[in-house]
Amino acid sequence: MVLSFHQLHGIPLSYIVRHNDVADCSPKPTFLDEYVATAPLVGEAFNNDQGAVLILLKALVTGHTEAETIVSSHEGGQTGRAAIKELRRKFEGTGINAIARKRAQKDIETMFYAGENPPI
């Protein structure tokens, strides 16, 4: 899931939804990427940004009952980071796994030993 949020405090809001909880100080291709990877996940600015991310998430999931429930369960504490983590746990990879299962089923149904004629 790639989210492109605008900046509130000079750092793109994508730092709120980064995968790592710990700052990643390895070299990045751009200055903004380094900013996102190393921004602290504590403090007043972080808490304000989490609220902004939660508002954006709520708008993005409108119409999907299950996702709306997950996001709204985090509204009291303005924890946008916790909401995105829960959404990832619930939905990340779901679609790709379904596609892989369908492909595997099709492969199984059409497989035959190459040394013999295909079954009729």
pLDDT string in tens for the chain (120-residue length): 444 445 555 678 889 999 899 999 999 999 888 988 999 999 998 998 999 899 999 999 999 899 999 999 988 877 899 999 999 888 877 666 777 777 888 887 777 666 666 666
Specify if 120 maps to a domain. no
Classify the C-alpha dihedral 59-62-68-73 as positive or negative: positive
Classify the C-alpha dihedral 67-88-37-50 as positive or negative: positive
Number of other residues whose CB lies within 10 A of the CB of residue 80 = 27
How many domains, the chain? 1
Specify if 2 maps to a domain. no
Domain span at residue 57 reads 13-110
Q: What residues pair up with 12 in beta bridges, in sequence order?
A: 7
Specify if 95 maps to a domain. yes
Question: Which distant-in-sequence residues (6+ apart) come within 8 Å of 90 by Cβ?
Answer: 66, 67, 70
